[in-house]
Structure 1
Amino acid sequence: MPSHESGWSDGVALTGRGLECGVLDRLVGDVRAGASRALMVHGEAGVGKTALLDYVARQAVGCQVVRVVGVQSEMELVFAGLHQVCVPVLDLHDRLPAPQRDALRIAFGLGAGPPPDRFLVGLAVLGLLSEAAERQPLICLVDDVQWLDQASAHVLAFVARRLGTESIGLLFATRAAGADLSGIPELGMTGLRETDARGLLSSALSGPIDDRVREQILLEARGNPLALLQLARGLTPTELAGGFGLPGAAPLPTSLEAGFAQQVAALPSNTRTLLLVAAADPSGDPALLWRAAGRLGVDADAATPAVDAGLADFGTRVRFRHPLARTATYRGASAQQRQAAHRALAEATDQHLDADRSAWHRAQAAPGPDEDVAAELERSAGRARARGGLAAASAFLERAAVLTTDPAARAGRAVAAAAAKVQAGFFDAAQALLAMTESASLTPQQRASADVVRAQLAYNTSRGGEAPVLLLKAARQLEPIDVTLSRATYLDALSAAVFAGRLAGPGGHVPEAARAAVGAPRSPHPPSAVDLLLDGMAAGLDKGYGAGIPFLTLALFAFGTDMTAEEELRWMWLAAITAIRVWDDERWNVLSGRYVRLARETGALSELPLALTQRAYTLLFAGDLPNAAALIGELRVAQEVTGSGLAPYGAMALAALRGDESEVVSLTDATIQDATRRGEGIGINFAEWAKALLYNGLGNYDLALSACRNAVAYDRDVASLCWSLPEMIEAAVRSGRPEAATKAFAQLTEMANACGSDWALGVQARSHALLVGDETAEPLYRQAVARLGRTGLRVDLARAHLLYGEWLRRRRRRNDARVQLDAAQGMFTDMGVAAFAARADRELRAVGGRTDRSAARAADACLTAQETQIARMARDGLTNPEIGTRLFISARTVQYHLRKVFAKLGISSRSQLAGVLPESALGPLASASADETLGQKSAPEGAVCRRRRSADSKQ
């Protein structure tokens, strides 16, 4: 066999591939030297991608090499490809952190538990490969990526993007560069140059060739190495030497497949049957192959002609010479022959050890609808879902629906398949499955379930639009069927309406959703936290803000009691924003901290973007900008990894507090454009609020007022304006238009009087003092300072000092003004709230105050963003694996960065980090009590914050 053939090369050099081999030599050298590298090789079928992988395998002396091949017929089997990667090193999985170890075991069906987050599985694989590379550099070769099961493809792409310094090489080969592998370095392969093509063709010939035949082969092959060899092999010596012309050119994959098909057709019947069985089962397990072949009356002698023809190898693994040889074998068989092969494989597969593969073969063997097979596929879908394989679950359910004869059962399976498709991100396929149900006679529960899926589809594709209306429709249909599910769906509808805001579709605005939710059936059980959230939101949005406060207050203090982690995660976002909407800073602090911890501890990494955003805002309002910035950096990593489309809410607020006008304008403009496109009205509110906050800090009150008017334009949900209203009042008064603040102040007062918290009453008193302006303002300013001083909200407290000081200066009470302005300027400067600090500085100079105070340069200023994140987490007591989990990198990469941190900061151990890095204003999140119960009032952390603020204000 010539040494240049894809997949079967034994030589060292590859004809015409010097440049590509050089790239791969450097990759192998870097891995041996301790670095990690990923590379995607792409090009048409037969261009030599597999030959390059073979080249790497030969060159990787001293490295452990793991090979994976994607196979089209295995795309529905969850984590099938990933299993090939991990099996050689799976003995090291006990070294992984417990959540990762458990996720990997569940994914591979080795243990039981809730479905693992796919990003946690990715971290587990990264950790596993990193552990393997500790003992020997590791190179993974992944061929035919386009045919990997989606779960495996996502995880391996995740690992490739998160490699650091682990001595791991990850090399992909695929037909075309797709979105799954975006961001990974690429090496595109094209046909050989003419001289190299001629040389390769000559090396493959065993006799003379007519010049016209040679030129025709070169013309049709277009430099494709496999085509050159296949076309030459397809001609007899007489045809090669006698000037026999080739037929007209066909597309390369088609012509190559036809060439393989001709070779297969020339084989004895029993050999063709053996190859068909091998093509139908891509596991490569020779024992399974021979068991199935035996059921078809095929013995071991049948393999010899296939081996002699160079089509397949039957050793410790069953391997086709080229993927097109497998495809040609399978497609060349009749439907009845394929069904017979799958039936034999289903019978030969152990139903206890590999029930899913057995079910899939049974499905392929079914000549028509078969309820038994459909039921088994449904069970396989359940197992796939339990392992985190949503794509596989949806494929099983879709096939089950096709094999179902009963119309009602068929529709029910189609709805279930559509729901799985939505969860897996296959929105077009979900829409097609829902179309199957439109003409079916659905049960009321099936109809409601279909509407829920339609709502989820609408929400995922356009955030606002019709999602609230569809959810309301589904909730009404569920009322006589399942009261608990109906109430949960009403709450989803309210949340969707709040999220869509001004961009909700007809019938889905907040008042309409609230009126419908008020009529939700009462729970048959004592009200849970979720029941109270629904009752409170519905009452507050329908009857007035104050009507919902009693229910929502109880809901926040009951939240977490008798709830599973899954239930908490489902509703935590709503609970956290409810704490903001009722101005409860203590519960907000507790809930946001719990949200992040829960997402991390349970491995629900898809929840991290929302959780980190909530926690970052808590830190921003507490004035802890450095640690908020660290969380926002972590958030960017989480979004990059999870593909979350969440707007940059945290980054907008951080830039506004820092006074970075260009950054705020850039972020808010992009957010408003994106939110408008997606129907995410709440994004517009936040963007306009961030601009108002910035311009009030800069003293550009006209621009602040303009932003505020946009922010409060949609006031059907007054609670969503809790941050915009104070900005509106300040901007209107400062720009000489206090009448514009009248409505905003009335709305703010309604909220403050109803909830009665120090936060709300303090901001209300501060705003009232601005409006009155005369001598009655002073007791209001004092009240604002006192009330906000009892909270953990340093930014609002500092702003109260600033406004009080400005009022005193205008009354020519210079000494009194200096006290307030000095407190404000000191707090703003220490927090890094630059625009407000500059404003306080100008006022302080005007009364003769000391204005040369500047924030101490942070010890971590010389560190990169990633080094800063890692250093702060290490300071807070996190281990290297824990830090790696948070930043989606390996523990070895964490250690590499820590060594650089120590060198830059001039320290030698982790214990010294506390002395050179500032602490969080709310205390390190990592050290917060892990067993804190949300169902109890949790005042200690808030109390500590208040004592610290009080001390700060006295300095």
Structure 2
Amino acid sequence: MSELRAAFVGRDRERAALHACAGRARSGRPALVLVDGPPGVGKTALVRSALEGFRVLAASGDPLESSFDYGFAQQWLHDGVSGDPIDVGARLLGVLTGSEEPVALVADDAQWADAPSVRALAFALRRLHAGNVLVVVVTRDEPPDGLRRSLSEATRLSLTGLSVAELGELAAHLCPVPLGAAALDRLRAHTGGSPLHAEALLRQTSPDVLADPMARLPAPRGHAMDVQDRLGRLDERTRALVRAAGVLGEECPLWQAERLAGVPGAILLLDAAVAAGLLVHRVGGELMVGFPDPLTRAAVYEGLRPGERARLHRDAAVICPDPVDQVRHRIGAVSRADDAFAREVAAFAREQGASGNWEVAADHLECAARLTASPRERGVLRAEAVHALLLAGRPGRAAELAREPNAHPGARAFAAGLVEEASGDRARARGLLERAWLDREPAFEGAVATALARLCLSDGLLPEGHRWAFRASGVGAGFVHMVSRFAAGRTADVLDLRLPDPAVAAPGELDLLTGRAAVRLWTGDAAGALADLRGVPGEVAETLRCLAEVRSGAWDDALSRRPGTWTAPYTVAAQAMVHAARGEVATARTLLSHGWGAVSGLARMFLDAAAAFADQVEAGDPDPEIAPGAGFAACAGMLPIAPGGRREAALSPDPFERARAEFADGSNLRRSGRRTDAAVRLRAACDAFRALGATPFLERSMRELAACGRSNDALTAQESTVAGLVVAGLTNKEIARRLTLSVKTVEYHLSNVFAKLGVSSRTALVALLVRGQPRRA
């Protein structure tokens, strides 16, 4: 693949804008373009792609030449350049406008342009009114001060790093094997999305290293050589400080780097390292030092000799007070398999998991797997890492790790089963987890039973669920224990259980609080569920929070919740129902269409209920007879709600279900001729639907209310007349002429009508009033 093609992955919009400017210049209308972005982002290559057919006058800045007068202008004009900037600018203008062929003037790296050249160019640009001229100024940030006014009307193209998807497109051209999403995420974080650095790494680095989440990504060779050159110009003490910081991480307290480097008074050395572009510093309680970007740190770290690197890691493990950092440095000092140390790292990882630090647990379990010489133990640790990754909300990496070779059949089935559960294939997940139970190890025995209990109970397989819940242990076990008791009819045992406030609860107690919150939700106590879940982490808690917020009317809060892994269908179904209830059916359908084909069991019921609800809203008749389990009641929790009817709905703490019941009763009362009683119910329904933003339901309720001969608020005579003329099809101007009013007055009256009748458009107003007229004051 050509270098040009690699540079332009993801630059379609910018290329189109630049080529449009070039076309305008060719047609005789001068065009000014400002291109900015960080080094390596592809600015120069972008500009070159649009210069075909132009006579190019190009100049490029250099920090070592920025003090030389007319260094830029000399590159444009070639002959000796001197004198007043006005004279040089006039000469430059003559060159730009005196040619019969199109001319492109390019000022690359203009942040280093010398001041006289800048003044000369500004003079020319202020007088450039005609000609086949394209002027492109390329800079890292803002143009030089003298050009800002001249470029105020320029087309500005600000380039940023490539996205993960765009890096995937680039990798597809350069890598012999596909890179997964997790590998592309790492590549973007490491390079900042710079196409220059990303392309270099993709060309220079083995796909195995790129795909390995535990491997250190290197710096591109050219960048590494530049960093080592700058490092070599520093004195030995400053070099030692930079290298120590490279071992300590992307950022560390200055005192740690000072102690590790053995250079007292390191603050006196910091200026030289910062001036060389190797370190940056930040004050936040204590002075922190770090690197401008991950590539610079990688280049410094790679430049260390293996023995020196191991020594620094061993010393850092003694210096750093954080246990996580201590273990990380001890791992960095190891050069061969060590079963005893692998067991120590695994134990540390499990402690971190027990405290809810699943991200740290997953990373250390993967490290432990690499440190052990036993293939069977490696398989167990990898399966545990898959479990931790899912709990940390990293399903993509979990799926990748589950696909790696695993010498332990039970661990392999355990990891695969968890991934299938997260992807929604519950039947396959159960089969794999049951196989894992047959070849289980103490390290994952309790987790297998917990997952099987969760699957069986949520699918209504109560006897099996009880049996697995009895064997469950570890994270999530408290939840399935509570659900199992509830399913066995022991609701009082669950609700009466004395548990601490979530703020002071231990991890096992948080599990129990999550389970009790689910039971509270299933028994109609959404407020109690939210109280139990206050501050509780984990995807089950987050999903239950979403469901409880839907049932309590906190719809905006519910929409802010992020779907988890295996609980995602429940969150998505609830959020889709909220969107549908608000009339946003297209949004609801988009949520429901994203890869839920393999979902089965209760999760499938949730998604189907949400789809059916969206269908009802879209059909324009969203509120047939209130049926048991209809509407939001079908998505109240992870088990079906006990059947109810209109009477139960009228007493429900769920404001939406209560409003639907009020609407249904009000409609029946109106049809039986009891209009006054009907209006009371319908006004209550209108108020509730308006508060929730449930527009389709509000509009239908308002039509019913209008059919009673009443509105939510009485309209004045003028408002009633304006509303009637809108219904008759007149525009605001036509109404103004007929009533001898100004258009603004008509708009004022119409805004009052909309507010009083609870509608937001003329179409909705017409639909509301076709069955009756609003009552005058």
TM-score normalised to structure 2 length:
0.50
Question: What is the aligned partner in structure 2 of residue 259 from structure 1?
Answer: 226
| Alignment map for 1:63-78 (pairs within 5 Å) | none
In structure 1, which of residues 828, 831, 835 is the aligned counterpart of residue 685 of structure 2?
828
Question: What is the aligned partner in structure 2 of residue 198 from structure 1?
Answer: 61
Tell me the distance in 2 between the aligned counterparts of 1:309 and 1:797. Answer: 71
- 2:630 is the alignment partner of 1:723: yes
In structure 2, which of residues 569, 592, 605 is the aligned counterpart of residue 672 of structure 1?
592
Tell me the distance in 2 between the aligned counterparts of 1:321 and 1:826. Answer: 61
Question: What is the aligned partner in structure 2 of residue 685 from structure 1?
Answer: 608
- 2:287 is the alignment partner of 1:367: no
Question: What is the aligned partner in structure 2 of residue 14 from structure 1?
Answer: none
**C-alpha contact 2:651 2:658 (8 A) present in aligned 1:** no
User: Does the residue aligned with 2:596 lie in a helix, a strand or coil?
Assistant: helix
Question: What is the aligned partner in structure 2 of residue 616 from structure 1?
Answer: 550
What does the per-residue CA deviation read over 1:861-911, in whole Å, with 9 as the maximum and x for residues that have no partner? xxxxxxxxxxxxxxxxxxxxxxxxxxxxxxxxxxxxxxxxxxxxxxxxxxx
What does the per-residue CA deviation read over 1:133-171, in whole Å, with 9 as the maximum and x for residues that have no partner? xxxxxxxxxxxxxxxxxxxxxxxxxxxxxxxxxxxxxxx
Tell me the distance in 1 between the aligned counterparts of 2:633 and 2:258. Answer: 77
User: How many correspondences in the alignment?
Assistant: 509
The letter of the residue matching 2:541 is E
Question: What is the aligned partner in structure 2 of residue 59 from structure 1?
Answer: none
In structure 2, which of residues 429, 432, 455 is the aligned counterpart of residue 467 of structure 1?
429
- Cα distance change, pair 409–843 in 1 and its aligned pair in 2 (3 A): closer
- 2:247 is the alignment partner of 1:280: yes
**C-alpha contact 1:279 1:327 (8 A) present in aligned 2:** yes
User: Does the residue aligned with 1:405 lie in a helix, a strand or coil?
Assistant: coil
**C-alpha contact 1:573 1:610 (8 A) present in aligned 2:** yes
In structure 2, which of residues 289, 303, 309 is the aligned counterpart of residue 338 of structure 1?
309
In structure 2, which of residues 492, 498, 510 is the aligned counterpart of residue 566 of structure 1?
510
Question: What is the aligned partner in structure 1 of residue 51 from structure 2?
Answer: none
- Cα distance change, pair 557–204 in 1 and its aligned pair in 2 (3 A): farther
Tell me the distance in 2 between the aligned counterparts of 1:480 and 1:292. Answer: 40
Question: What is the aligned partner in structure 1 of residue 370 from structure 2?
Answer: 402
- Cα distance change, pair 47–672 in 1 and its aligned pair in 2 (3 A): closer
- Cα distance change, pair 516–292 in 1 and its aligned pair in 2 (3 A): same
What does the per-residue CA deviation read over 1:816-870, in whole Å, with 9 as the maximum and x for residues that have no partner? x65875565455345438767877888899xxx943142699xxxxxxxxxxxxx
**C-alpha contact 1:829 1:837 (8 A) present in aligned 2:** yes
- Cα distance change, pair 290–614 in 1 and its aligned pair in 2 (3 A): closer
User: Does the residue aligned with 2:709 lie in a helix, a strand or coil?
Assistant: coil
The letter of the residue matching 2:38 is G
Question: What is the aligned partner in structure 1 of residue 766 from structure 2?
Answer: none
Tell me the distance in 2 between the aligned counterparts of 1:376 and 1:483. Answer: 20
Question: What is the aligned partner in structure 1 of residue 519 from structure 2?
Answer: 575
- Cα distance change, pair 616–856 in 1 and its aligned pair in 2 (3 A): farther
> How much has 1:202 moved relative to structure 2?
0.6
The letter of the residue matching 1:722 is G
Question: What is the aligned partner in structure 1 of residue 665 from structure 2?
Answer: 801
- 2:460 is the alignment partner of 1:493: no
| Alignment map for 1:162-561 (pairs within 5 Å) | 197-198=60-61, 200-203=63-66, 223=109, 254-264=221-231, 275-282=242-249, 283-285=251-253, 287-294=255-262, 310=276, 326-347=297-318, 349=319, 353-378=321-346, 380-381=348-349, 385=353, 389-435=357-403, 438-440=406-408, 447=410, 451-462=413-424, 466-474=428-436, 488-494=450-456, 498=459, 516-517=464-465, 520=468, 530-531=480-481, 533-534=483-484, 551-552=488-489, 554-555=490-491, 558-559=494-495, 561=497
**C-alpha contact 2:453 2:468 (8 A) present in aligned 1:** no
**C-alpha contact 1:260 1:328 (8 A) present in aligned 2:** yes
- Cα distance change, pair 570–606 in 1 and its aligned pair in 2 (3 A): closer
Tell me the distance in 2 between the aligned counterparts of 1:819 and 1:318. Answer: 74
What does the per-residue CA deviation read over 1:222-266, in whole Å, with 9 as the maximum and x for residues that have no partner? 74989x9xxxxxxxxxxxxxxxxxxxx996953232133245467
User: Does the residue aligned with 2:66 lie in a helix, a strand or coil?
Assistant: helix
Tell me the distance in 2 between the aligned counterparts of 1:463 and 1:856. Answer: 55
> How much has 1:369 moved relative to structure 2?
1.6
In structure 2, which of residues 541, 560, 563 is the aligned counterpart of residue 637 of structure 1?
560
> What is the alpha-carbon root mean square deviation over aligned residues?
6.1
User: Does the residue aligned with 1:676 lie in a helix, a strand or coil?
Assistant: coil
Structure 1 unaligned residues grouped into runs of 5+: 1-40, 49-192, 216-220, 229-248, 499-509, 538-550, 580-586, 620-627, 709-720, 728-750, 764-784, 858-955
Tell me the distance in 1 between the aligned counterparts of 2:265 and 2:652. Answer: 81
> How much has 1:666 moved relative to structure 2?
2.0
- Cα distance change, pair 479–614 in 1 and its aligned pair in 2 (3 A): farther
> How much has 1:304 moved relative to structure 2?
11
**C-alpha contact 1:565 1:598 (8 A) present in aligned 2:** no
Greater relative contact order (CA < 8 Å, ≥ 6 in sequence) = 1
In structure 1, which of residues 843, 854, 858 is the aligned counterpart of residue 712 of structure 2?
854
TM-score normalised to structure 1 length:
0.42
What does the per-residue CA deviation read over 1:12-45, in whole Å, with 9 as the maximum and x for residues that have no partner? xxxxxxxxxxxxxxxxxxxxxxxxxxxxx96346
**C-alpha contact 1:371 1:403 (8 A) present in aligned 2:** yes
User: Does the residue aligned with 2:593 lie in a helix, a strand or coil?
Assistant: helix
The letter of the residue matching 1:337 is E
Tell me the distance in 1 between the aligned counterparts of 2:584 and 2:274. Answer: 69
- Cα distance change, pair 638–354 in 1 and its aligned pair in 2 (3 A): same
> How much has 1:493 moved relative to structure 2?
0.8
> How much has 1:398 moved relative to structure 2?
1.5
Tell me the distance in 2 between the aligned counterparts of 1:320 and 1:651. Answer: 42
> How much has 1:373 moved relative to structure 2?
3.8
Tell me the distance in 2 between the aligned counterparts of 1:417 and 1:529. Answer: 21
Question: What is the aligned partner in structure 1 of residue 770 from structure 2?
Answer: none
The letter of the residue matching 2:243 is L
- Cα distance change, pair 404–558 in 1 and its aligned pair in 2 (3 A): same
The letter of the residue matching 1:43 is P
What does the per-residue CA deviation read over 1:586-614, in whole Å, with 9 as the maximum and x for residues that have no partner? x31x2x21221222254669834532433
Tell me the distance in 2 between the aligned counterparts of 1:528 and 1:639. Answer: 23
**% identity of equivalent residues:** 16
The letter of the residue matching 2:65 is S
> How much has 1:561 moved relative to structure 2?
1.3
Tell me the distance in 2 between the aligned counterparts of 1:314 and 1:667. Answer: 45
Q: Which has the higher helix share?
A: 1
**C-alpha contact 1:529 1:556 (8 A) present in aligned 2:** no
In structure 2, which of residues 538, 541, 564 is the aligned counterpart of residue 607 of structure 1?
541
> How much has 1:278 moved relative to structure 2?
3.9
Tell me the distance in 2 between the aligned counterparts of 1:725 and 1:268. Answer: 70
The letter of the residue matching 1:568 is L
Tell me the distance in 2 between the aligned counterparts of 1:422 and 1:482. Answer: 14
- Cα distance change, pair 337–683 in 1 and its aligned pair in 2 (3 A): same
- Cα distance change, pair 560–205 in 1 and its aligned pair in 2 (3 A): farther
**C-alpha contact 1:689 1:723 (8 A) present in aligned 2:** no
